[in-house]
Amino acid sequence: MHRNEMYDRLRAHAGPWDIIVVGGGATGIGVSIDAASRGYGVLLLEQNDFGKGTSSRSTKLVHGGVRYLEQGNISLVMEALRERGLLLGNAPHLVHDRAFVVPNYDWWEAPFYGLGLKVYNLLAGKYGFGSSRILTREETLERLPTINTEGLRGGVIYFDGQFDDSRLLIHMAATAYDLSATLLNYVRVTGLTKDAEGFINGVTARDAENGEEFHAQAEVVINATGPFTDDLRRQADASITPMIAPSQGVHLVFDRSFLPGESAIMVPHTSDGRVMFAIPWHGHTLIGTTDTPVDRASLEPVALEQEIDFILSTASLYLAHKPTRGDILSVFAGIRPLVKSAGGATAALSRDHTIHIEKSGLLTICGGKWTTYRHMAEDCVNQAAMLARLPEKPCVTEHLRLHGFHADADAFGPLRVYGSDALPIQDLMRGEPALAEPLDPALPYTGAEVVWAVRHEMARTIEDVLARRTRALFLNARAAMRMAPRVAGLMARERNRDGAWQTQQVESFAEVARNYCPKPG
């Protein structure tokens, strides 16, 4: 993907686009893949970087949602389990299975969770990831050597999917690009334009890099702005009833010693009645999450002190070595775009996501989850094609392989997440051996990945590279800050930028990264 080439595509496009998508998260990029693979002309605009919003801040699970099963939402669980299986088939370089153990401290937990997780398994049908079963105390300790043993009776094991959210998103953007979609990051939609009858027929947009504005026309505009859904809806009609009740979720990241095995811990009931996970992720331990209603969505939400304390105290109940603030390597927050009420002409095609059409013709898709992005996109494009009277074309994404598809990506070691793109990255390392060196001893990321991200993945800033092309900021914020000057140097070389650009980049990255370093207790 090249930003200049995206602009060439934009300029070369004559007449209205079939579909303009606003928002470059899982929902918007999923929609652009679906629409482009049907043969529609698609333009996607993202105000910041792809995945800057919620889609880089998830728990990284491709799952049916054991919690929804407890709530009796069988159809949603079945839909998500099916999507989990399809995604594993389409992106095996980015999705893999993971064993989860529910530790049991009460006599009733083994039969209760054992039965529930059997049902979870059965609902997956042919998309199952492995059978659940009850574990003895010894088997539980073998799987979870650092679990709190006091009162431990045993556990229940089940299998679910795990992924790297923003890397999957970049590969999805590349898939849409390969299918001829035009996608621009750092272009904000500033307004919606209407025809003489008051129907939306396009957008006005501003490039954040050079301040230039442009107008693009479309048969239909899709609002996929996640937590910012109501802001764009207000551009169409100032009197809308808000749909989104934003809620914040926080994760803490620790080193691997807190959870050294290959299994994750699933706590089905925290003291606030939620589910909490401790998961091995990229050689670290990821623990979360919380659910805190917030007044407004922000692009860089900040974890509250009480959210950090809550995760630490819950983790301390289950881990023999109690984590403290001093052990936290990174803390990150994300905003759930929960749908509270749709009002008006809503087509609730699933109990999970919502598709809403304004009187002005703006089509909004929101809610749902990462796992179900493909199905959400299918529903959305069906509705959009009908609304815009586009020629009918069937959805073809069920078995559409995502960019970089590779059946044996494990062979690429730390470059596994790039799939087949690992080969040209290895070529870069061979061509210039200094690029094969890790940028910091704490993390495996190399200069070659920086170069690759700039040349082929539309990374524009240090933050794009360290937060979303690699996951350095999410894994170890201080190591990411140490890496920043070298990343700036490599990016400046690629993009022909001067020392002042590098200084400004390092400073603005440090400002963001400080939020990922918790205050000492």
Ligand X SMILES: Cc1cc2nc3c(=O)[nH]c(=O)nc-3n(C[C@H](O)[C@H](O)[C@H](O)COP(=O)(O)OP(=O)(O)OC[C@H]3O[C@@H](n4cnc5c(N)ncnc54)[C@H](O)[C@@H]3O)c2cc1C
Residues at the interface with ligand X (CB under 6 A): 22-28, 45-48, 52-55, 57-61, 188-189, 224-228, 232, 249, 289, 299, 334-337, 368-371
- What minimum distance in Å lies between the beta carbon of 424 and ligand X? 27
Instruction: Pick the closest to residue 147 from 160, 157, 137 (CA basis).
Output: 137
What gap in Å lies between CA 519 and CA 182, rounded to an integer? 41
- What minimum distance in Å lies between the beta carbon of 107 and ligand X? 30
Q: Is 126 helix (H, G, I), strand (E, B) or coil?
A: helix
Instruction: Pick the closest to residue 30 from 361, 338, 366 (CA basis).
Output: 366
Q: What angle, 0 to 180 degrees and rounded to 10, lies between the N-to-C axes of helices 74-90 and 373-387?
A: 100
Nearer to ligand X, 20 or 448 (CB): 20
What would the two tokens of residue 411 be? 């062979």
Nearer to ligand X, 178 or 207 (CB): 207
Nearer to ligand X, 232 or 312 (CB): 232
- What minimum distance in Å lies between the beta carbon of 56 and ligand X? 7
Nearer to ligand X, 74 or 407 (CB): 74
**Contact status, residue 172 vs residue 402, Cβ threshold 8 Å:** yes
- What minimum distance in Å lies between the beta carbon of 336 and ligand X? 4
DSSP for residue 341: -
What gap in Å lies between CA 516 and CA 473, rounded to an integer? 7
- What minimum distance in Å lies between the beta carbon of 215 and ligand X? 14
Burial class (CB in 10 A: 0-12, 13-18, 19+), 300: middle
- What minimum distance in Å lies between the beta carbon of 71 and ligand X? 16
Instruction: Pick the closest to residue 328 from 58, 63, 516 (CA basis).
Output: 516
Nearer to ligand X, 207 or 440 (CB): 207
The gap from C-alpha 252 to its chain's centroid, in whole angstroms, comes to 16
Nearer to ligand X, 276 or 428 (CB): 276
- What minimum distance in Å lies between the beta carbon of 510 and ligand X? 21
Nearer to ligand X, 374 or 406 (CB): 374
Nearer to ligand X, 44 or 443 (CB): 44
**Contact status, residue 127 vs residue 81, Cβ threshold 8 Å:** yes
What gap in Å lies between CA 437 and CA 285, rounded to an integer? 24
Strands (E), 153-255: 154-163, 182-184, 187-194, 200-207, 213-223, 244-255
**Contact status, residue 171 vs residue 404, Cβ threshold 8 Å:** yes
- What minimum distance in Å lies between the beta carbon of 503 and ligand X? 26
**Contact status, residue 383 vs residue 364, Cβ threshold 8 Å:** no
Q: How many CB atoms are closer than 10 A to CB 360?
A: 18
Nearer to ligand X, 49 or 449 (CB): 49
- What minimum distance in Å lies between the beta carbon of 164 and ligand X? 11
